[in-house]
Amino acid sequence: MLNRGTRFRGGRDSRPSSRAGRKFALLGCAAALLAGCASMPDDGDVKAVEQSPRAEGDSQVRVYGVPPQDGAQPTNIVRSFLDATTSDEADFRTATQYLAKSAKRTWRPFQATNVLQERPKAESTVQPNREDGAGYTVTLSGTQVATVDDNHAYTPEEKPYRQTIHLIKEGNQWRIDRLPNGLVLGQSDFQRIYRSVNKYYFASYNTEAGQPKAGRNVLVADPVYLRQRIEPIKASVEALLAGPTNWLHQVTTSAFPTGTRLAARDLSLDDSNALRVKLSKQAVNTDTGQCKRMAAQLFFTVQDMTRASKISEVEILDNSGNSLCSLTQEQADRDFAPSRQAGHSASEYFIDADHRVVAMSDTATKPTPVQGPFGTGKTPLRSVAISRGESTAAGVSSDGRSLYVADMEDGIERGGSLLTSGASAKDPQNGLTAPSWDGLGDLWIADRDTHGSRLLRMREGKGDPEAVAVPGLGKRQIKAIRVASDGIRIAMLVEDKGRTTLQLGRVERGGSADHPVLSVQELRPIAPQLEDVVAASWAGGSRLVVVGRESGGVQQMQFMETDGSASNAQTLPGVNGVKAVAASEDENRPLIADATEGIVRLPPDANWKTVAKEGTAPVYPG
């Protein structure tokens, strides 16, 4: 048990604001030990204690705030208040002791969280209070890097931060009577307190929902940040019931009826790792199919929070404890797993030195040409995309002007070009981007010329290309695209005045069933700290692998979440001169890249290995 007065901050040595604070902390720790928070046995054998994965949030060191000290000055009151807001208290009970009576009634700590590069600096200025002439103002300043809104959605945003906190004397003690709603945290505290968790909602294809390819059970990951030590399972379920974040709500739906809430106070996995969730009366009148879909959302959301243990079953109960339905792990994986749309590829692909599209399994040391016309080398290609079912390939000619689509079967002849770019062949930077398949079987591609870009979709990889509007693009040029398997999200490399950034867009489907109108809405940056992004690929439900460099820095490869936050996935070893990268949405598959050493592969928990000294355009299906 740690007292917050020690200012324990993830291993960083920060000292309390006063000698009295240190004395208080030591006395608090001593009292805690005497009260039985920690003890040392005198005898007995040493035994290994198996840690329960269900206690993930409870197994870590707890941090608690220190109440106000008598006679503390305004600046120290503010600093100690900020310390208390980083404690592991669900209701910020200690932090509110620093507030005046009026502020206790009005302060809303969960309205927003402002994340700064470092803890905010407190600068004090005397400012007489208009009522009694005894007020004091403390200004907080720093560099803000992100915000988390009241729906737990993270948004990267770098800008100066400056807010004021006002204090008055109450009972001869300084107390805070005016302050901004929400929290303000340094990055280190934020990373200790919060955890990125995927909520899951069903993709809504609107005008195309009636087509066979658009299944009703396609789950889309919606990342949010939750406090990881405060009832983590309950927090993730409550966040799920609150509905999708603002960015995704236009293209996703929830199986939970509007207004559904938890009907039980406590929520945890039982001894068999089953989750039993008691819901309010809104969920009672659902049929079995809808109830199973609700259970699927619960299963994958809570599974993401409790990654250390595998959930065996989810059972939904009414508010009287009667079972409404249940969903086993096997049923969830078979019928609802988000990875189903991504396919189950057995191979990685690239274009070899003889212009052939070749395939290679994770363990193979030598690639083999694919079946069909693209495996012969008779059609030199710049880029290639393999359908999720690995039955069809789409390739762009080496001059970037022509798109060909062919089945991956022996004896098939390559047909004519399905799309021809209007760009001049003299400029290799223009023409068609590498194509990309979504999990619905549709093919996406962008055509670039000196006047801009246009995004196109070809249903099932054939027929006439359909224009997809990108309202937020302006005059910027699309350099590359990667569509998520759900067909709801698209990642794009966008160039503007020599700077290439990674943007994520939301695919909306309007018009009618016979004449759908597609658009990509609300482009938002995924890796805002990178000035020049070279390549990106989907690497999970809400994760991409990104290659780029910061201003004045060297090239780096890292995982990023779709909300623009840094992923908690493993740090990637460096590799020289990466021009392209491919990842699978199955996070256990290796990365593959086109680098200085040739085509290289990075298996999990290993180093890069060269698999072909010459080759280009590595891809996974998609």
Higher-confidence position of 411 and 38: 411
Residue type at 571? Answer: T
Q: What gap in Å lies between CA 454 and CA 569, rounded to an integer?
A: 34
Res 47: pLDDT? 29
Res 128: pLDDT? 61
Identify which of 498, 400, 406 has the alpha carbon closest to the alpha carbon of residue 443.
406
Q: 64 and 1 in contact (C-beta within 8 Å)?
A: yes
CA distances from 458 to 442, 443, 448, 517 (A): 6, 5, 17, 13
Q: HSE of 305 in the Cβ direction (CA atoms, 13 Å)?
A: 33
Mean pLDDT of 200-207: 95
Tokens of 294: 């609700």
Q: What gap in Å lies between CA 177 and CA 166, rounded to an integer?
A: 6
Higher-confidence position of 308 and 29: 308
Q: 456 and 419 in contact (C-beta within 8 Å)?
A: yes
pTM: 0.87
Q: What gap in Å lies between CA 385 and CA 377, rounded to an integer?
A: 16
* Residue 566 per-residue DSSP state: B
Residue type at 616? Answer: T
Q: What percent of the chain has pLDDT over 90?
A: 73
Res 497: pLDDT? 86
Mean pLDDT of 372-398: 95
85 CB neighbour count, 10 Å cutoff: 23
Burial of residue 217, with CB atoms counted within 10 A of its CB: 0-12 exposed, 13-18 middle, 19 or more buried: middle
Tell me: pLDDT of 315 over 70: yes
Minimum mean pLDDT among 33-37, 195-199, 394-398, 407-411: which range? Answer: 33-37
Res 463: pLDDT? 83
Res 130: pLDDT? 53
Identify which of 314, 309, 306, 308 has the alpha carbon closest to the alpha carbon of residue 336.
314
Higher-confidence position of 258 and 21: 258
Q: Which of 50-64, 131-145, 361-375 has the highest mean pLDDT?
A: 361-375
Tell me: pLDDT of 246 over 90: yes
Res 32: pLDDT? 40
Q: HSE of 256 in the Cβ direction (CA atoms, 13 Å)?
A: 26
Residue type at 575? Answer: V
Higher-confidence position of 169 and 28: 169
44 CB neighbour count, 10 Å cutoff: 6
Q: What gap in Å lies between CA 557 and CA 170, rounded to an integer?
A: 54
Q: 431-482 pLDDT, tens per residue?
A: 999 999 999 999 999 999 877 899 999 999 998 999 999 998 988 999 999 9
Tell me: pLDDT of 49 over 80: no
Res 545: pLDDT? 96
Confidence of residue 59 (pLDDT cuts 50, 70, 90): very low
Q: Which domains does the chain have, with CATH numbers?
A: 198-340 (no CATH), 341-619 (2.120.10.30)
Q: 178 and 166 in contact (C-beta within 8 Å)?
A: yes
Res 20: pLDDT? 38
Mean pLDDT of 180-191: 96
Q: 531 and 550 in contact (C-beta within 8 Å)?
A: yes
Identify which of 454, 519, 450, 526 has the alpha carbon closest to the alpha carbon of residue 493.
526
Tell me: pLDDT of 144 over 70: yes
Contacts 24+ apart (CB under 8 A), 360-365: 360/611, 362/589, 362/590, 362/603, 365/611
Q: 512-536 pLDDT, tens per residue?
A: 988 999 999 999 999 988 989 999 9
Q: What gap in Å lies between CA 258 and CA 297, rounded to an integer?
A: 15
Confidence of residue 15 (pLDDT cuts 50, 70, 90): very low
Helix 232-241 crosses helix 288-305 at what angle (to 10 degrees)? 140
Residue type at 493? Answer: L
Q: What percent of the chain has pLDDT over 70?
A: 88
Tell me: pLDDT of 427 over 80: no
Beta bridge partners of 116: 144, 186
Q: 540-553 pLDDT, tens per residue?
A: 999 999 999 988 88
Confidence of residue 147 (pLDDT cuts 50, 70, 90): very high
Q: 252 and 290 in contact (C-beta within 8 Å)?
A: no
Beta bridge partners of 99: 176
Res 211: pLDDT? 80
Q: Which alpha helices (H) appear in 564-615, and where do they start and end?
A: none
186 CB neighbour count, 10 Å cutoff: 20
Confidence of residue 58 (pLDDT cuts 50, 70, 90): very low
Q: 476: which residues sit within 8 A by CB, 6+ positions away?
A: 452, 453, 494, 495, 496
Q: What gap in Å lies between CA 343 and CA 586, rounded to an integer?
A: 9
Q: 175 and 168 in contact (C-beta within 8 Å)?
A: yes
